[in-house]
């Protein structure tokens, strides 16, 4: 039975068939900005008015000075430190705004879609902290959950992907070990847009694959 279920899953998505793809820290810090106490890294920018501008969500920070690489590295570390120590229910925003300047002159405010969640962002493993997060909701705009993003969120009982059931979610890739050691997470509903699950993802979790007129519960 287990083999049959896995074969059904393989017909829909690829399980660890190619390497995870995610920004390096150097790439991440090149275009950082802070919005409402949250840290983001620009992944794509077209124009102030474009609807195709995108960012990676990097966590929560009290830092505001991103003028040097040292300050950017400190902000990235602070953002992860705070993310790991979040308590209760967490929601990631769908869009954020940031001012755009050229030669020191403000050109306007651009809107960015949140499409990526940073690697190791909520990873409590090896942090000396017991994660107190119970529920995480991510927006339908997220396309990529990077490796070990939720590693050892051991008190998380619910993970919600907005748009997973109605076809509006844009999630495509979940990298290796993203849900490792999430011991209380009983199930995840994935949209049919997902094409890649990294190694051991999700681990010991029931997945519900949403497809038109078809729902499959699969343990991998």
Query: Could you report the per-residue pLDDT of 73-107, keeping only the tens digit for each?
Result: 999 999 999 999 999 999 999 999 988 876 677 78
- Apex 164 CA angle, 144 and 44, nearest 5: 30
pLDDT in tens, 21-76: 788 888 888 899 999 999 999 999 999 999 999 999 999 999 999 999 999 999 99
pLDDT number for residue 67: 92
pTM across the whole model: 0.83
The total number of structural domains that make up the chain: 1
pLDDT number for residue 208: 58
- Is 121 a residue whose pLDDT tops 60? yes
- For residue 120, the enclosing domain spans 2-219
CATH code of the domain containing 114? 3.80.10.10
Mean pLDDT of all residues belonging to the chain: 84
- Apex 118 CA angle, 154 and 133, nearest 5: 25
| pLDDT band with cut points at 50, 70 and 90 for residue 198 | confident
What letters, b where the CB count within 10 A reaches 16 and e where it falls short, cover 169-197?
A: bbbbbbbbbbbbbbeebeebbbbbbbebb
DSSP single-letter state for residue 146: P
pLDDT number for residue 126: 82
pLDDT in tens, 136-170: 999 999 999 999 999 999 999 999 999 999 999 99
| pLDDT band with cut points at 50, 70 and 90 for residue 220 | very low
| Closest C-alpha among 60, 125, 62 to residue 92 | 60
């Amino acid at each position: 039975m287990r083999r049959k279920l896995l074969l059904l899953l393989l017909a829909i998505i690829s399980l660890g068939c190619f390497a995870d793809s995610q920004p390096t820290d150097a790439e991440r810090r090149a275009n950082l900005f802070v919005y409402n106490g949250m840290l983001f890294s620009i992944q794509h920018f077209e124009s102030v008015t474009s609807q195709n501008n995108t960012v990676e969500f990097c966590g929560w920070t009290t830092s505001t000075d991103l003028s040097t690489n040292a300050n950017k590295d400190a902000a990235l570390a602070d953002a992860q430190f705070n993310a790991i120590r979040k308590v209760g229910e967490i929601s990631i925003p769908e869009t954020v705004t940031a001012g755009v300047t050229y030669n020191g002159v403000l050109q306007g405010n651009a809107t960015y879609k949140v499409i990526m969640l940073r690697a190791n962002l909520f990873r409590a493993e090896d942090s000396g902290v017991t994660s107190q997060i119970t529920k995480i909701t991510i927006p339908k705009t997220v396309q990529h959950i990077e490796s070990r993003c939720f590693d050892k969120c051991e008190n998380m009982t619910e993970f919600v992907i907005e748009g997973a059931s109605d076809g509006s979610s844009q999630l495509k890739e979940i990298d290796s070990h993203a849900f490792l050691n999430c011991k209380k997470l009983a199930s995840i509903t994935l949209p049919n847009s997902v094409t890649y699950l990294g190694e051991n993802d999700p681990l010991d979790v029931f997945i519900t694959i949403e497809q038109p007129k078809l729902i499959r519960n699969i343990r991998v």
